[in-house]
Structure 1
């Protein structure tokens, strides 16, 4: 018995995972080129990156030390507020993230939690 015959189920599983991962990313790129989409749909899709970023960052900002905390004792929320101004002013993800990380480092250096 060859190695492939002994691991056929594993290979089929890996192939299925590859297809399930690649197809949802490749098909929209192939068939939904930005020029052929209606203006309303293009405008609606422009909000997707912001929504994804908010979904990723929101829990880290509002859940501090394992529980929901929207008060001034939440270091990450207090850092997020000036970082929002930097994001609005600079319109640059890298600048915003670097500024936020810098504020967290400074706050912890000076003894705030």
Structure 2
């Protein structure tokens, strides 16, 4: 019962916050510094989700060696992204390296 109430409460709070933003619309103006800071939120959240999955894929500590396919693929994808600035190429190369490296290591 406690978990259900927690989920319902979180849903209500999320709905309330989003509803306020839609109701107030353009009547609320954020200061330029806050708007600039909010622009970094998606990148920060995505980084916070992805980095632990890359560095500790099994959740038992850091795996910083070449036996970690996630780390190898992320490093190659970062290099491709820096060189080409092409999202689709980065995704394709990253996934290809990940699955290829995993196949070579674990057959």
Q: Which 10-residue stretch deviates more, 82-91 or 99-108? A: 82-91
Normalised by the size of structure 2, how large is the TM-score? 0.66
Match 1:90 to one of 70, 85, 88: 85
User: 1:95 and 1:26 mapped to 2: Cα distance?
Assistant: 38
Name the larger-Rg structure.
1
Going from structure 1 to structure 2, the CA distance change for 1:42 and 1:21 (only over 3 Å counts) comes to: closer
Q: Look up the match of 2:18.
A: 25
Give me the TM-score of the superposition, normalised by structure 1.
Answer: 0.64
Q: Which whole-Å CA distance do the structure 2 matches of 1:45 and 1:83 have between them?
A: 26
Q: Offset of 1:31 from its aligned partner? A: 4.1
- Relative to structure 1, the CA distance from residue 60 to residue 42 in structure 2 (aligned partners, 3 Å threshold; closer, same or farther) is same
Q: Deviations over 1:27-60 (max 9, x none)?
A: 3455475x93222111111111110110110111
Aligned residue in 1 for 2:73: 79
Aligned-pair CA distance for 1:101 = 1.9
**Structure 2: distance between partners of 1:21 and 1:107:** 41
Structure 1 gap segments, 5+ residues each: 1-12
- How far off its partner does 1:107 sit? 1.5
- Report how many aligned residue pairs link the two structures: 99
Cα offset, 1:90, TM superposition? 2.7
In structure 1, the residue matched to 2:97 is: 103
